[in-house]
Amino acid sequence: MFPGKSITLKEGSHIGHGAIVHGADIGRNSLIGMNTVIMEDADIGDESIVGAMAFVKEGQKIPNRSIAVGNPAKVIKQVSDEMLKWKTMGTRLYQQLPADCFESLREVEPLREVPEDLKIQEGYYETLKGFMKA
């Protein structure tokens, strides 16, 4: 965060791994992709998606329900209802992780072999491409 600036994360906003937010307003139910950099006084609109590794310039405004990518970030299209549903489901999964960890964390012994009843999350949550095909 830039000294003297503040960051506003509105309800349901989702900041990806490694992203840097220098001082900006992140809109409701928006997704900031991994390793994205958002400079001071930027404004990311509600229900928007900023792609991984994008660079949002100082003071840049991303309108509501926009998809912005690149360096510098440019709006390339609008977030569809299907994309928004997919994004919201993903954010809910992340929001559930701390509670799941707290409820299930326990000391364990290392496995010597793969258990026969091992649960695999295949198909539990699809990439956007897979989600759109379904």
Domains of the chain (ranges, CATH numbers): 8-78 (2.160.10.10)
Q: What is the tens place of the pLDDT at every residue in 19-73?
A: 999 989 999 999 999 999 999 999 999 999 999 999 999 999 999 999 999 999 9
Average per-residue pLDDT in the chain? 91
Torsion of CA 21, 26, 30, 35, to 10 degrees: -10
94 half-sphere exposure, CB direction, 13 A CA radius? 14
Question: What long-range pairs does 123-129 form, CB within 8 A, spacing at least 24?
Answer: 125/89, 125/90, 125/93, 126/86, 128/83, 128/86
Residue 111 — pLDDT band, cuts 50, 70, 90?
confident
Mean pLDDT over residues 113-132, rounded? Answer: 77
| pTM exceeding the 0.75 threshold for the entire prediction | yes
What is the rounded distance in angstroms from the CA atom of residue 25 to the CA atom of residue 43?
5
What is the rounded distance in angstroms from the CA atom of residue 10 to the CA atom of residue 30?
8
Give residue 133's pLDDT.
76
Q: What is the tens place of the pLDDT at every residue in 75-108?
A: 999 999 999 999 999 999 989 999 999 999 999 8
Length of the chain: 134
Give residue 14's pLDDT.
94
What is the rounded distance in angstroms from the CA atom of residue 31 to the CA atom of residue 9?
11
Residue 132 — pLDDT band, cuts 50, 70, 90?
confident
Closest C-alpha to 72, from 83, 60, 61, 56? 56
What is the rounded distance in angstroms from the CA atom of residue 16 to the CA atom of residue 49?
11
